[in-house]
Chain A
Amino acid sequence: MKRTAFSNPWLPILLLVPQLSIIAVFFYWPAGYAIQSSFYLQDPFGFGSTFVGLENYTDLASSTNYLDSLKFTVLFTIIVTFLSLGIALLLAVKADKVLRGARTYRTLLMWVYAIAPPVAGLMGVMLFDQSRGNLTQLFRSLGWDYTLGVNYWDTAIAMISVSVWKQIPVNFIFFLSGLQAIPRSVREAALIDNPSGMRRFWDITFPLLAPTGFFLLIINITYALFDTFGIIDTIVKGEPGNNPMTLVYRVFVDGFRGGDLGGSSAQSVVLMVLVLVLTIVQFRFLERRIHYT
C-alpha cells in the first residue's frame, strides 16, 4: 500500500469483486472439492460416495503404477530441467558475446516460445513415428531399433526431447537478460583480472547469474511437472498404455478415464502439497534476492 492512498470505503471492494468472485468460484471451490473428495470413495455409477478417510492416500502409496509414475516424473523433471537449462545457458552466453547478428540470434532462439506444447508434441510424433519418422529412420540406420509407443524408454526419449526443445527459449530469454544486466564495469574489471574465458565465466558470470538460475530452476521444475501435459498427451496419442506418464498426466487419466474421483483427487492434493513446497522455497529465495539488488 502507498503512504498516500484514497480512503474511499466502497470503491476498493467494488474493484476487488470481479477478481475475488472468479477465484472463489473457479479456484477455491474446486480446490476445496478436491480436498474433500480425496477422503471419499465415489461410486462409479454415481450413486453417492462413502467416507473412507485416508484410504485413497494409502492406496496411492501402495500402487505400483503410481510409484512408477512418481519415479518417472522425478527423472523426467531432472533431465528436462538440466538439459534445457544447460543448452539455454550455453546459447545465452554466446549470444551475449557476439557483436554481429546478436538481435537476429535472439529472435531465432526465442520464437519457439509461442508454439503450443501439443503442437510441439505433434511434431515429435511425426519425427519419432514408429515406421516413417525421420529420426526413427536415422536411428535405424545407426542400428538402433527405435519404437515409439512400444518401448518404455523410447517413448520417454521422445517426451524428453520435445519438452527440452520447447523450454529452451524461455530459459534463453531469462539467461540473456540476466547476462545483460551484469554491469559493464564488472565485466571489464573481470577481463583485466582474469583473461581466461572459462575461468571468468565460472568465477564471475556464473555467480552473478545464480539468482536468475535459481529462479529458472523453479520455473523449469514447474514446467516439467505441469506444462508438459500437452506434449505427453500427444506423444502417447491419448492412449498411455504401458508408456511412461508424469503425475499430472496420471491425475487426468485416472480421473477421466478411470472415473476414480477420490483417487484422482488424492493425487491432486499430493501435487498441491508439492507445489506449495516449491513456492515456499521460491518466496524465501525471492526475499533474499531483493536484498542482493
Chain B
Amino acid sequence: MADVTDTTAIATSTTRRRKRIKWETVGDHVVLILGALLMLVPVYMVFATSSHDAITVHREGLQFLFGDQFSENYNAALFEYGGFTDSVNGITMLTNSLILGLGFAIGKIIVGMMAAYAIVYFRLKFATFAFWIIFTTLLLPLEVRILPSYEVIQSMGLANTYTGLIVPLIASATATFFFRQFFRSVPEELIEAARIDGAGPFKFFIDILVPLSRTMIAAMFIIMFVFGWNQYLWPTLITTDESLFTLVRGIRQIIQAYADGSTTPEYGEAAALAIIAMVPPVLIVIFFQNWFVKGLTESDK
C-alpha cells in the first residue's frame, strides 16, 4: 500500500498530473499544523489574556478571546511603578534588558574576535596553552559555579552594577570558539596576499577579516543578544536593586506575587509584561532567521 502512494507522490512531483488528494501529503501537513499550534496556542492565550482584567482571569484562567483592557494593562505594565521600592516600571526593565542583551552580545563578540585572531593568526609560543585555558570555560556553565561566582563578584563590590551583571556572563568562550573555527576556514591565500602587499596585522584584521566575517558576526550577534536578554539566574542573584531589574528578572516578582496569594495578582498586567519580555527576541529571531539558523547550526561544527 505504502509503495503505491509513494510512487504516485514522486510521479506528481516530477511530471504534472491532474490534481488529486494525496493523503500522505495531507497527513504531513496535519502533523506540521498540529506542531505549529502546539508552539503558538499557549503564547496566543497569554496574549489574549493580557487584554483582560484580573478578576476575569482569576475566575476563568487564561483566555481565548480578547477583552477590552488591552491598553490599560500595557500602560500599567510599561509605565506604572511597582515592586517594593516603587523604583521600577516596564520601561526601566526594558532598558535594562536592552543594556544586558546588547552589552553581552557586543562585549562577547569583540573579546572573542580578538582572542580568536590572536590564536589563529599569530605565531605564539603558548598558543596551545592559551587555547586550552580559554576552552575549558566551555565546560562549566555559570549555573554550576553559581554560588562561588556570586561570592567573588560580591566581594569585588560589583553587585548591583551593570559590570557585575554583564561581564561575568562573558566569561565563557563560545564566541571565541566560533570565531576560531571560522578564521581557520578562511583561505590561506588571503593572508599570504595581504602580507605580500605589505598589510600589517591591524590592516589585515580591519580591512579583510572583519568584512569577511560580516554574516558570522551578525549570526553571533543574534544568538548572543537573545541569550543575554533571556538570562535569569544571574540577574536574579546579582541585582537586588530594583532599578537594575531586567524584564526576565521581573518575571520572578510576578511569580512571587502569585505565590503570595494575599491579594488577587494583576494577571492581565503580568501577561502583558510576559508578552513585552518575549517580543524583542522573538522578532529578532523571526526577521533574521536565515542568519540565526546559519549561526546556530554552524557554530557547532
- Interface of A toward B, CB cutoff 8 Å: 1-8, 11-13, 15-16, 18-20, 22-23, 25-27, 29-31, 33-34, 37, 87, 90-91, 94-95, 97-101, 105-119, 121-123, 125-127, 129, 132-134, 136-137, 165, 168-170, 173-174, 177, 191, 195-198, 215, 219, 222, 226-227, 229-230, 233-234, 237-239, 248, 251-252, 255-256, 261, 264-265, 268, 271-272, 275-276, 279
Known contacts A6-B121, A11-B201; A122/B146 CB under 8 A: no
Query: What DSSP secondary structure best describes chain B's contact surface?
Result: helix
Known contacts A118-B252, A195-B6, A252-B146; A111/B285 CB under 8 A: yes
Look across to chain B and name the residue whose beta carbon is closest to the beta carbon of A3: B188
Q: CB within 8 A of A27: which of B42, B57, B130, B171?
A: B171
Contact B10 A168 (CB under 8 A): no
Known contacts A23-B173, A115-B281; A107/B10 CB under 8 A: no
Residues of A within 8 A of B118 (CB): 11-13, 15-16
Q: Interface digits, B147-174 against A, CB 8 Å rule (1 contact, 0 not)?
A: 1111111001000000000011011110
Chosen A-B contacts, 20 in total, with CB atoms closer than 8 Å, are A1-B127, A6-B121, A6-B123, A18-B115, A26-B168, A90-B35, A110-B293, A111-B282, A115-B230, A116-B229, A116-B232, A118-B255, A119-B248, A122-B270, A132-B61, A227-B143, A237-B255, A248-B143, A272-B144, A279-B138
Residues of A within 8 A of B137 (CB): 23, 27
* CB of B197 within 8 Å of the partner chain: no
**Min C-beta distance of B250 to chain A, whole Å:** 10
Contact B171 A238 (CB under 8 A): no
- Interface of B toward A, CB cutoff 8 Å: 2-3, 6-7, 10, 13, 24-25, 28-29, 31-32, 35-36, 38-40, 42-43, 45-46, 49, 57-62, 110-112, 114-115, 117-124, 127, 130, 133-134, 137-141, 143-153, 156, 167-168, 170-173, 176, 184, 188, 191-192, 195, 200-201, 204, 226, 229-230, 232-233, 237, 248, 251-252, 254-256, 258-259, 267, 270-271, 274, 277-278, 281-282, 284-286, 289, 293, 296-297, 300
Distance between Cα atoms of A169 and B43 in the complex (Å) = 14
Contact B233 A2 (CB under 8 A): no
Distance between Cα atoms of A252 and B237 in the complex (Å) = 10
Distance between Cα atoms of A3 and B45 in the complex (Å) = 57
